[in-house]
């Protein structure tokens, strides 16, 4: 077995190396990660999802939503916008100074330098940091996703394909009611959507003594026949709660933005 031993050694060196690098090291670095605080405040982040939303993650997993949707926002950079909050004792000098300076689309360094000049002249300024990039411009999030965002998720559903839009910030864009309509009949709220309907998460039933308060208010062409109503099953409600809990709006030290 001498030759077999050499091959085993080769495997051990090569795979062992990458095991240490991509399994052990990330676990040592992040495995014990704790909640962090949001930028410039003492609020902890991320707070756990409410129970129903947490169960919604498992509906999300079971139905393979991540096959078409990502939950990670990319950003290409940041841009700073500077505003004058107080002109100080010598407003004329400050105004003259400001008219000679660029105030939007600055890098952080440029903004800091300009801010220093104005404060030397006695004015007070505020710097707003705005994340840039196509994902941000689409409203998919106010900043890029970072490791902290996924602390409580199990399994972490990053996704790798955008056959549908990114969902990191879907909670800020749509409410739970919209989610239910969209799950039952995607075309009823997004014309031309290619998402398959998830009708099996709903129950179409005869209206009883009085209509259920949870029944969907569907446009006529998607509505069930008269006398029937569409009621979401618990899975649908959980999934909608989970989707509503997804937000990418919190400023963090790793991904600074001005709210």
Partner 1 sequence: MTLNVMKTPDARAETPDPKIDASLRVPLLALFGGAAFWLVVSSVLAMIASIKFHAPDFPAHCPWLTYGRVQPAADDALLYGFCIPAGLGVALWLFAQLGRAPLRGAIVPVVAAKLWHLGVLVGLAGILSGNSTGFAWLEFPRAGSVILFFAYLLLALWAMMNFAARRERALYPSHWFLVAALFWFPWIYSTANLFLVAWPVRGVVQAVIGWWFAGNLLFVWLALVGIGTAFYFLPKFSGRPLQSYYLALFAFWTLILFGTWCGIPPGAPVPAWLPVLSSFAAVLTVVPVLAVAAIAWQTSRRSDAPSLECGCDAPVAAPAPAGRAAPMPADGLVRQDKATRASHLPYGDGASPPRGFIRFGLMSFVLSSLMLIAMACPRISQVTEFTWFGPAQTQLQLYGFFAMTMFGAIYYLLPRVVGFELPFPKLARLQFWISMAGVVLFVLPLAIGGVEQGMKLNNPGLSFLDATRATLVFFRFSTTGLLLILSGNSLFALNIFAMTFVWEKSLVKKAFAVVTAPLERSSTSASLPSSPGFDGTRRRDKEVQA
| Shortest distance, position 230 Cβ to partner 1, whole Å | 13
For 80, left (φ over 0), alpha (ψ -120 to 50), or beta? beta
Between residue 17 and residue 36, which ones bind partner 1 under the rule CB under 8 A? Answer: 17-19, 21-23, 26-27, 29-31, 33
Burial 185-217 (b: 16+ CB within 10 A, else e): bbebbeeeeebebbeebbeeeeeeeeeeeebbe
Between residue 95 and residue 134, which ones bind partner 1 under the rule CB under 8 A? Answer: 134
Could you tell me which stretch among 7-15, 96-104, 121-129, 207-215 binds partner 1 (CB under 8 A)?
7-15
Rounded to 5°, angle at Cα 38 from 32 and 39: 120
Could you tell me which stretch among 68-76, 100-108, 214-222, 223-231 binds partner 1 (CB under 8 A)?
68-76
Residue 141 binds to partner 1 (criterion: CB under 8 A): no
Among 39, 53, 66, 231, binds partner 1 (CB under 8 A): 66
Between residue 182 and residue 241, which ones bind partner 1 under the rule CB under 8 A? Answer: 186, 190, 192-200
Q: Is 245 exposed, middle or buried (0-12, 13-18, 19+ CB in 10 A)?
A: buried
Whole-angstrom distance, CA of residue 68 vs CA of residue 162: 5
Nearer to partner 1, 111 or 136 (CB): 136
Among 89, 102, 162, 217, binds partner 1 (CB under 8 A): 162
Residue 151 binds to partner 1 (criterion: CB under 8 A): yes
Contact between residue 106 and residue 80 where contact means Cβ atoms under 8 Å apart: yes
Binding residue count for partner 1, defined by CB under 8 A: 72
Token pair 């549908």 is found at: 164
Nearer to partner 1, 114 or 248 (CB): 248
Q: Which residues pair with 36 in a beta bridge?
A: 45
Written as six digits, the tokens of 194 are 């290619």
| Shortest distance, position 38 Cβ to partner 1, whole Å | 17
Residue 91 binds to partner 1 (criterion: CB under 8 A): no
Written as six digits, the tokens of 22 are 């991509």
């Amino acid at each position: 077995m001498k030759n077999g031993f050499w091959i085993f050694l080769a495997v051990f060196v090569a795979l062992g190396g990458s095991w240490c690098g991509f399994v052990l090291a990330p676990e040592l670095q992040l495995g014990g990660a704790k909640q962090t605080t949001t930028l410039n405040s003492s609020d902890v982040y991320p707070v756990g999802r409410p129970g129903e939303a947490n169960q919604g993650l498992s509906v999300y997993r079971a139905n393979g939503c991540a096959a078409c949707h990502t939950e990670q926002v990319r950003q290409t950079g940041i841009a700073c916008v500077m505003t004058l909050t107080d002109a100080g004792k010598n407003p004329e000098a400050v105004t003259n100074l400001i008219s000679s300076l660029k105030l939007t689309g600055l890098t952080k360094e440029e903004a800091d330098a300009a801010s220093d000049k104005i404060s030397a002249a006695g004015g007070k300024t505020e710097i707003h940091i705005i994340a840039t990039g196509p994902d941000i411009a689409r409203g998919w999030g106010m900043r890029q996703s970072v490791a902290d965002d996924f602390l409580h998720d199990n399994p972490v559903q990053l996704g790798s394909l955008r056959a549908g839009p990114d969902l990191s910030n879907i909670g800020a864009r749509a409410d739970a009611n919209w989610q239910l309509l969209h799950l039952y009949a995607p075309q009823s709220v997004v014309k031309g959507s290619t998402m398959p309907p998830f009708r099996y998460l709903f129950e179409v039933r005869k209206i009883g003594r009085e209509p259920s308060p949870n029944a969907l208010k569907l446009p006529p062409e998607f509505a069930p026949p008269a006398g029937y109503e569409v009621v979401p099953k618990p899975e649908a409600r959980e999934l909608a709660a989970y989707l509503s809990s997804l937000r990418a709006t919190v400023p963090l030290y790793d991904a600074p933005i001005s709210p």
